[in-house]
Structure 1
Amino acid sequence: MKTYIGADALALLKEKFHSVEYNTEEAKPAVYVPADELLQLLSFLRDEMGFTRMENVTSVDYKTYFEMVYHLFAWKTLDTCQDVPDENVWITVKVKLDHEHPVIPSVTSVFSSAEFEEREVFDLMGIDFTGHPDLRRILLWEGFSGHPLRKDYKQAAPPFVERITRRGH
């Protein structure tokens, strides 16, 4: 079972980053941060709180907005959290983005491992990552039109092929 960051650590984040929002009533509280503070928050989590591993980067399309989701974990105990047991600790960081123009800073300067996953999100969801070292399609070809994991994506109809039937015997 995963252990998520506790109330003490969340309070510390709120003290350092006033715009951070979270719900301590949730079993797995997610930290919401504005896009312009994402890099500072991730740097703080890595350097000051020991979250040295970015496990996953993904996105969600909610029709009216996109949400970038970052899953990080720290090996063993976080010194800043008294209510966390001696095991790996997880945190989820989320950023809401405008659906019409989804743009967010690339986190590759903080976690270089995010490079491939940001390209995948760009390719399939159309979210632009400013400052990414190599932002190009990774699964679909360069001439592909649209982003197939978006809720508003309309797939082109396949070409009509006349059915061949067997006659006789």
Structure 2
Amino acid sequence: MVRARPPSEAERIRARVASRLRVLDELLNTEMEEYFSSPGSAGKAYSVRPLLRRYVEAATQLLDRLEEQQAEGGLDVVLMDIPVTLVDESDGTEAVYVVVGPAEGDPAKGYISCLSPLGLALLMKRVNERVVIDAPGGQFSYRVAAVGTEPIDI
């Protein structure tokens, strides 16, 4: 009798990210722009479609190197469903967020929609990279302090 081996951490992350990429690809092939575009604090509309298209392409390439990256010390790139620790550059406070799908956002619980200004800005950022958010409430600056390794089941 052959026993199935439990999935590795890289395999679990790969499965979750691949699932998300399929969902995002479907969203990108719809008329999502008319429903989800919104102005930033300067009143300029930002386009969601090119940002998410770049995320899908880059995350797809990252999946090919995921096991190597896990062996080298873990993830250092923000992906959907993976916790990310941010440091607010204005006061040094830390907060943990998870970028999730549009319908799953709940900022009070730390779940940030991938279509929000913060969610869009975080995708594919690396540890120690600076993130500047131009949101309706003003401009905010964070540093990516850490990327978790365990996918969160929503």
Please indicate, yes or no, whether the TM-score normalized by the shorter chain is above 0.5. Answer: no
TM-score normalized with structure 2 length: 0.23
Q: Comparing both chains, which one has the higher relative contact order based on Cα–Cα distances under 8 Å and sequence gaps of 6 or more?
A: 2
Indicate the structure (1 or 2) with the bigger Cα radius of gyration. Answer: 1
